[in-house]
Chain A
């Protein structure tokens, strides 16, 4: 493999990590509250509200069913507005973040649903306010499950980031496509794919280990 390809792959690794973790961060900043809203407004929950739940739930479902590649294209004007350009690593962070929000929201909702209702009943009987119950009872109890879910989500975002390479994003995905696929360089293609596989495995495993370690049940 030529030296310039090696350098490109190494840079690609950093770009991929950057895209993945920066997007995950922004996606969680938005997805966590949305997930909490989905959970608390559901039937029988603390802030039961059919209208809000249906509204937020529908948007989440719409975004989730939209193929990511389509979202990438649809988002181009928004990305240009925010980043000033529609190509490059930073440009792909915008659609990646947006695309991950509904996935994260559903994952958070499911983690919160795992908290036994008895805990909430106990909290209510203690005279805790609904907000106190959400932030001091439900969320802390869900932390191990939230971390396990985060590992799955970050791995998914990493996969998406490779796809972003197709429309001008950076990272390993772009290298695999441009140097590997279009130039029929099988070594580059499979090297980048192998690196992506290892990265996903490392993220998933560290998430599982961390989740297990802090789970006290």
Chain B
């Protein structure tokens, strides 16, 4: 993927909010690259700075220092009229949809085209095409208030696509939706990414969103970039505490893996990809080494289109036995991470 063109190149971004003499550092020395065609996830707890970060990409927020390049062009150097033009190529969807409630669905979708001064007849044709993509062509005369949350987000996506953008920014776009609708919206985004070669940047606090559709992920913690890279890499081998927490706990919807039978016993997480997932390695472990482990939680997920499994196990009590088990896992090429209970 790295041979692709860079859409965004962020260098040492810093953003400070000042309020009544008090300072809040929202972004601190954040650098990252986003390439064409990627689905790039930016994840972090609420208040971590991820929403601020995404808003610096279309200059809804100005940065204090650092540089943001958009296709090699310095965003800060743009004049207001140039900035407006650039913004037309960077669409955005929101958690609260932000549709015009007094306008029909099709009028909403036509608005970006009106801004781009596209003739009326063409506006209508394009808007109808966009509604077809999101599967709402029969709702064009409806008002947003007559639609469900999922449908409203689809209208917002149609509106975002209308001006034929190069990038789509999604700010917690699925956070107000239930899991099933979230799934559908994510599938739609994935499809759009594939068919239209659209670069998508997704802000979320849910690891499941990243796991499902992102190629790359950046983890933001207290305004700093904790970790960034391939989703698969970070999922199997999280290096920082924040990343471990996100990967392990997921959304809190997973089984809580911290109920060990003995308090103070050693707990590890093993992650395996689609290949080793077929091997019954826990039974093999028992057969080959005679040591047992206690499975605290286990599940499989699809990460970036590849099946991944993870398991949290409690190791035997004796140090010696623990080492045997760990060596066995490593010999099988599994990624092992210590879990601090």
A residues sitting closer than 8 Å to B (CB atoms) are: 116, 118-119, 121-122, 124-129, 132, 136-137, 140-141, 143-144, 214-217
| Contact between A126 and B163, CB atoms less than 8 A apart | yes
User: A127-B86, A128-B115 are known contacts. Are A216 and B102 too (CB-CB below 8 A)?
Assistant: yes
Interface-side segment among B93-101, B131-139, B333-341: B93-101
- Residues in A neighbouring B60, C-beta threshold 8 A: 121, 124-125
Query: Is B332 positioned at the interface, with any CB of A under 8 Å from its CB?
Result: no
Query: Is B120 positioned at the interface, with any CB of A under 8 Å from its CB?
Result: no
Partner of B87, one of A116, A125, A216: A125
In the complex, the 5 A-B pairs of residues with the closest C-beta atoms, listed nearest first: A127-B87, A122-B98, A127-B88, A127-B84, A118-B98
In angstroms, Cα B3 to Cα A185, docked, is: 94
Task: Give B61 Cβ to nearest chain A Cβ, in Å.
Answer: 10
- Residues in B neighbouring A214, C-beta threshold 8 A: 102
| Contact between B58 and A125, CB atoms less than 8 A apart | yes
Task: Give A128 Cβ to nearest chain B Cβ, in Å.
Answer: 5
- Residues in B neighbouring A144, C-beta threshold 8 A: 102
| Contact between A217 and B101, CB atoms less than 8 A apart | yes
By DSSP majority rule, is chain A's interface helix, strand, loop, or mixed? helix
**B96-138, CB < 8 A from A:** 96, 98, 100-103, 111-112, 114-116
User: A126-B111, A128-B115, A216-B143 are known contacts. Are A118 and B96 too (CB-CB below 8 A)?
Assistant: yes
User: A136-B114, A216-B145, A217-B145 are known contacts. Are A128 and B98 too (CB-CB below 8 A)?
Assistant: no
- Residues in B neighbouring A127, C-beta threshold 8 A: 83-88, 112, 115-116
Chain B count of residues within 8 A CB distance of the other chain:
28
| Contact between B98 and A216, CB atoms less than 8 A apart | no
Q: Which residue of A is nearest B113, CB measured? A: A126
Further contacts, 15 of them, CB under 8 A, given A127-B88, A140-B103: A116-B96, A119-B100, A122-B98, A126-B91, A127-B84, A127-B86, A127-B87, A127-B116, A129-B84, A140-B100, A141-B100, A215-B102, A216-B143, A216-B145, A217-B145
- Residues in B neighbouring A126, C-beta threshold 8 A: 87-88, 91-92, 111-112, 115, 163
- Residues in B neighbouring A217, C-beta threshold 8 A: 101, 145
Interchain residue pairs with CB less than 8 A apart (13): A125-B90, A125-B91, A125-B92, A126-B112, A127-B83, A127-B84, A127-B86, A127-B88, A140-B103, A214-B102, A215-B102, A216-B144, A217-B101
Task: Give B104 Cβ to nearest chain A Cβ, in Å.
Answer: 9
- Residues in B neighbouring A124, C-beta threshold 8 A: 60, 87
In angstroms, Cα B116 to Cα A215, docked, is: 28
Task: Give B214 Cβ to nearest chain A Cβ, in Å.
Answer: 21
| Contact between A118 and B84, CB atoms less than 8 A apart | no
In angstroms, Cα B171 to Cα A122, docked, is: 11
Q: Mark B137-154, 1 if CB is under 8 A from A, else 0.
A: 000000111000000000
**B21-72, CB < 8 A from A:** 58, 60
Q: Which residue of B is nearest A217, CB measured? A: B101
In angstroms, Cα B177 to Cα A48, docked, is: 35
In angstroms, Cα B85 to Cα A127, docked, is: 6
In angstroms, Cα B97 to Cα A119, docked, is: 9
Task: Give A127 Cβ to nearest chain B Cβ, in Å.
Answer: 4
| Contact between A141 and B101, CB atoms less than 8 A apart | yes
Task: Give A144 Cβ to nearest chain B Cβ, in Å.
Answer: 7
- Residues in B neighbouring A122, C-beta threshold 8 A: 92, 94, 98
| Contact between A119 and B111, CB atoms less than 8 A apart | no
In angstroms, Cα B85 to Cα A215, docked, is: 33
- Residues in B neighbouring A116, C-beta threshold 8 A: 96, 98
**B75-91, CB < 8 A from A:** 83-88, 90-91
In angstroms, Cα B201 to Cα A125, docked, is: 14
Which among A116, A140, A143, A216 has the greatest number of chain B C-beta atoms within 10 A? A216
In angstroms, Cα B100 to Cα A129, docked, is: 17
| Contact between B98 and A121, CB atoms less than 8 A apart | yes
In angstroms, Cα B189 to Cα A155, docked, is: 51
- Residues in A neighbouring B169, C-beta threshold 8 A: 125
Q: Which residue of A is nearest B86, CB measured? A: A127
- Residues in A neighbouring B100, C-beta threshold 8 A: 119, 137, 140-141
Task: Give A141 Cβ to nearest chain B Cβ, in Å.
Answer: 5
| Contact between A132 and B102, CB atoms less than 8 A apart | no
